[in-house]
Amino acid sequence: MLQENIDYYINEDGNFVFTREYHLKRGYCCKNKCLHCPWNYGREEQSDKQAENK
């Protein structure tokens, strides 16, 4: 059973957003570029210079 604010939350638009914890429980990446993907699928890796500038 999914638990609100642990496995998901509902954003301002009324959409369900799965959390990092949910993705880790599921155990695999669905390759949909999820907002909280613990595997960072589809996100650019930061170079050392970009990380220093932040």
> pLDDT digit string (tens) for 25-52?
999 999 999 999 999 998 887 665 565 6
pLDDT score for 47: 63
pLDDT score for 50: 60
pLDDT at 9 over 90: yes
Would you give the DSSP letter of residue 28? Answer: S
- Tell me if 18 sits within 8 A of 36, measured CB to CB: yes
Q: Is the pTM of this model over 0.75?
A: no
Q: CB within 8 A of 49, min separation 6: which ones?
A: none
What is the C-alpha separation between 14 and 10, in angstroms, rounded?
Answer: 6
pLDDT score for 45: 74
pLDDT score for 54: 54
What is the C-alpha separation between 37 and 43, in angstroms, rounded?
Answer: 9
Domain boundaries, the chain: 1-43
